[in-house]
Amino acid sequence: MTAGSDHYAVVTGASSGLGKALAEELARRSHNLLLVSLPGTGLPELSDNLRGQNNVSVHFIEADLMRREAPEEIANYAREQGLEVDILINNAGIGHGGEIGEYSDDAIEESVFLNMRCATLMTNLFIDELKRRERAYILNLGSFGGFVPLPYKSIYSATKSYVYHFSLAIREELRGTGVSVSVAMPGPIITNNKVRERMVQQGFISRSNALTPEKAAAYLVDKMFRGQPVIIPRWTIRMAYGVGALLPYRLLMIILGRLFMGVD
């Protein structure tokens, strides 16, 4: 990606964790930004910092993506401001865990709306704009858990499986256009203290495979620009996927069930 682009990258869930790191990585590469996150999460301050440190244009929208109208409002804002979008990063999501029957209605709705519905709507709303660019990119954030059913993370893994299949399907639909679609399927990323506690519960394997948001973002952005369809940071996670594919299904479910039992 050339420095000093006049185009904009839309990043959802941009105020913290991996979303913030992705915004910082793109700004470091001199890419203009339209950042989206919840109100009261520090988005104005982050935008000011990115402008000052990287000499890029940064717009932001404080929006609750659980609102049905939010994706269309974001697309309308970009259009009204004349922002030429060439990157869409659907990062916003949530990872509730628990045993089926114990989920609250809110937890189920958040998982389905943020992990599936929001990414689908944002892609559908921005695709015509992206097609106008000579070269454009979509990066959807899945999870390593999207490759297999995860007991005690059943809804999360199912929604991330949707993201995986949706991304690869539209990648094929867009073949021959200038739009490249990638799906990130990372293992654990240390985004906050709750994630740290979860990795402690899960033991040495989880901790040893974890990545900081900054390292994950640099890897994901680089592979996105290279047009890689499925991006799995860290060779140990790629190896774990290969090993898991060879295990008998019942044994794999027992291992995963023990790993995630009691983990929020």
Among candidate residues 156, 162, 164, 219, the one labeled active-site is 156
For residue 2, give Cα distances in angstroms to 26, 28, 217, 224.
Answer: 11, 12, 18, 14
- Is residue 156 flagged as an active site residue? yes
> Cα dihedral angle (76, 142, 112, 257), rounded to 10 degrees?
-170
Closest to 36 measured CA to CA, from 3, 101, 85: 85
Q: Catalytic residue positions?
A: 156
